[in-house]
Chain A
Amino acid sequence: MEREEIRRDEFVSMYRLMFKIRTYEETLGQIYYEGKTPLFDISKGPIPGELHLSSGQEAAAVGVCINLRPDDAVVGTHRAHHFAIAKGVDLKKMTSEIFGKKTGLSKGKGGHMHLFDTNVNFSCSGIVGASFPQAVGVGIAAKMQGKDFVSIAVGGEGAANQGTFHESLNLAALWKLPVIFVIEDNAWAISVPKEKSTSISRNSERAKAYGIPGVYVDGNDVIGVYEVAREAVKRARAGEGPSLIEVKTYRFRGHFEGDPQLYRPKEDLEMAKQNDPILKLEEDLKGKNIITEEEISRIKEEIETEIKEVIEFARNSPYPEPQEALEDVFTGGD
Chain B
Amino acid sequence: MARKLPMHKAISEAIAQEMERDPEVFIMGEDIGTYGGIFSATTGLLQQFGVERVRDTPISESAFIGGALGAASKGMRPIVELMFVDFFGVAMDQIYNHIAKAHYMSGGNLRMPVVILTAIGGGYSDAAQHSQCLYGLFAHVPGLKIVIPSNAYDAKGLMISSIRDDNPVMYFFHKGLMGIGWMPSPPEAANEVPEEPYEIPLGKANILREGQDATVVTVSRSIYEALWAAEELNQEGVSIEVIDLRTLVPLDRDTVINSVKKTGRLLIVDEDYRSYGMSGEIISTVTESGVSLKFPPQRIAYPDIPVPYSRVLESFALPDKAKIKDRIKEMMR
Taking Cβ atoms with an 8 Å cutoff, the residues of A that contact B are 40-43, 48-50, 97, 100-101, 104, 106, 108-114, 125-129, 158-159, 161-164, 189-192, 196-198, 258, 262-263, 319-326, 329
Besides A108-B310, A263-B35, A329-B306, 9 other A-B contacts (C-beta < 8 A): A43-B184, A49-B126, A49-B127, A101-B310, A127-B87, A127-B89, A191-B35, A192-B58, A325-B305
A267 to B310, CA, bound (A): 38
Other-chain residue from A41, A97, A191, A322 in contact with B56 (beta carbon distance below 8 A): A191
Q: Which one, A112, A128, A320, A326, contacts B59 given CB within 8 A?
A: A128
Cα–Cα, bound, A101→B56 (Å): 38
Please tell me if the beta carbons of A41 and B182 are within 8 angstroms of each other in the complex: yes
- From residue 121 to 162 of chain B, which have CB atoms closer than 8 A to chain A? 123-130
Whether B90 pairs with A129 at a CB distance below 8 angstroms is: yes
| A241→B309 CA distance, assembly (Å) | 37
Q: Which residues of A contact B60 (CB under 8 A)?
A: 161-163
Residue B30 CB within 8 A of the other chain: yes
12 contacts between A and B (CB under 8 A): A40-B181, A42-B124, A43-B124, A43-B125, A43-B311, A106-B309, A108-B313, A111-B310, A126-B130, A162-B90, A190-B38, A192-B30
Q: Is B303 in contact with A325, judged by CB distance below 8 angstroms?
A: yes
Counting CB contacts under 8 A, is B211 at the interface? Answer: no
- B304 interface residue per 8 A CB criterion: yes
A164-B90, A191-B34, A329-B305 in contact; A111/B313 too (CB < 8 A)?
no
Interface pair A325/B308, CB less than 8 Å apart: yes
Counting from the closest, the 5 A-B pairs by CB-CB distance are A111-B309, A108-B310, A100-B310, A49-B125, A43-B124
Contact indicator per residue, chain B 103-127, by CB within 8 Å of chain A (1) or not (0): 0000000000000000000011111
Chain B interface size, as a band, is 35 or more
Whole-angstrom CA separation of A192 from B58 in the bound complex: 8
Interface of chain A, main secondary structure: loop
Chain B, range 143-202, C-beta contacts under 8 Å to A: 181-184
Q: Determine the residue in chain B with the shortest Cβ distance to A264.
A: B34
CB pair A190 B182 closer than 8 Å: no
Q: A159-B59, A162-B90, A196-B56 are in contact. Are A191 and B31 (CB under 8 A)?
A: yes
Q: What chain B residues lie within 8 Å of A113 (beta carbons)?
A: 127, 129-130
CB-CB under 8 A from B181, the residues of chain A are 40
With A41-B182, A50-B126, A113-B129 already in contact, the answer to whether A163 and B311 are too (CB < 8 A) is no
What is the bound-complex CA distance between A101 and B310, given in angstroms?
7
- B2 contacts partner chain A, Cβ-Cβ < 8 Å: no
Chain B residue with minimal CB distance to A127?
A: B129
In the assembled complex, the Cα of A262 lies from the Cα of B90 at a distance in Å of 28
Q: CA A36 – CA B312 in complex, angstroms?
A: 18
Complex CA distance for A62 and B48, rounded to whole angstroms: 45
* B40-82 interface bits toward A, Cβ cutoff 8 Å, 1 = contact, 0 = none: 0000000000000000111111110000000000000000000
Q: How close is B117's CB to chain A, nearest CB, in angstroms?
A: 17
Interface membership of B295, Cβ < 8 A = no
A residues near B35, Cβ cutoff 8 Å: 190-191, 262-263
**Given the complex, which residues of A lie within 8 Å of B62, measured CB to CB?**
162-163
Residues of chain B contacted by A106 (CB below 8 angstroms): 309
B125 CB contacts on chain A under 8 angstroms: 43, 48-49, 100, 111
Residue B293 is within 8 A (CB to CB) of chain A in the complex: no
Nearest Cβ on chain B to A162's Cβ, whole angstroms: 6
Is B312 a contact of A50 with CB atoms below 8 Å? no
- Cβ A114 vs Cβ B127 within 8 A: yes
Contacts A127-B89, A162-B59; A109 near B182 (Cβ below 8 A): no
Closest chain-B Cβ to A167's Cβ sits at a distance in Å of 11
**Judging by beta carbons under 8 Å apart, are A41 and B183 in contact?**
yes
Contacts of A324 in B (CB 8 A): 313
Check B317 for interface membership: any CB of A closer than 8 A: yes
Residues of A within 8 A of B306 (CB): 109, 329
Q: Is B315 an interface residue (CB 8 A)?
A: yes
Q: Which of A109, A127, A159 contacts B308 (CB 8 A)?
A: A109
CB B37 to nearest CB in A, in angstroms, measures 10
CB distance from B182 to the nearest CB of A (A): 5
CB-defined interface of B245-284 with A at 8 Å, one 1/0 digit per residue? 0000000000000000000000000000000000000000
Q: Say whether B183 contacts A158, CB under 8 Å.
A: no
Q: How far is the CB of B88 from chain A (nearest CB, A)?
A: 10
Question: In the complex, how many angstroms separate the beta carbon of B255 from the nearest chain A beta carbon?
Answer: 33
Q: A196 vs B30: C-alpha distance in the bound complex, in angstroms?
A: 11
A42 touches B183 (CB 8 A): yes
Among B87, B126, B313, point to the contact of A109 (Cβ < 8 A): B313
Q: In the complex, what residues of A have CB within 8 A of residue B86's CB?
A: 126-127
Task: Report which residue of B38, B56, B63 has the largest number of chain A beta carbons within 10 angstroms of its beta carbon.
Answer: B56
Query: Are the CB atoms of A258 and B182 closer together than 8 Å?
Result: yes
Chain A residue numbers with a CB within 8 Å of B309 are: 49, 97, 100, 106, 108-112, 114
Pair A158/B58 contact, Cβ less than 8 Å: yes
* Chain B neighbourhood of A112, CB < 8 A: 309
A318 CB, nearest partner CB in chain B, Å: 10
| Contact between A111 and B127, CB atoms less than 8 A apart | yes
Instruction: Give every chain A residue within 8 A of B303 (Cβ-Cβ).
Output: 325-326
Residues on B with C-beta less than 8 A from A158 are 58-59
B30, B126, B127, B304: the one within 8 Å of A190 (CB): B30
- List chain B residues, Cβ under 8 A from A129: 59, 90
A108-B313, A197-B59, A319-B310 given as contacts; is B90 within 8 A of A163 (CB)?
A: yes
Which partner residue on chain B sits nearest A48 by CB separation? B125
The listed residue with most B CB atoms (<10 A of its CB), out of A40, A112, A325, A326, is A325
The residue on A at minimum CB distance from B126 is: A49
CB distance from B47 to the nearest CB of A (A): 13
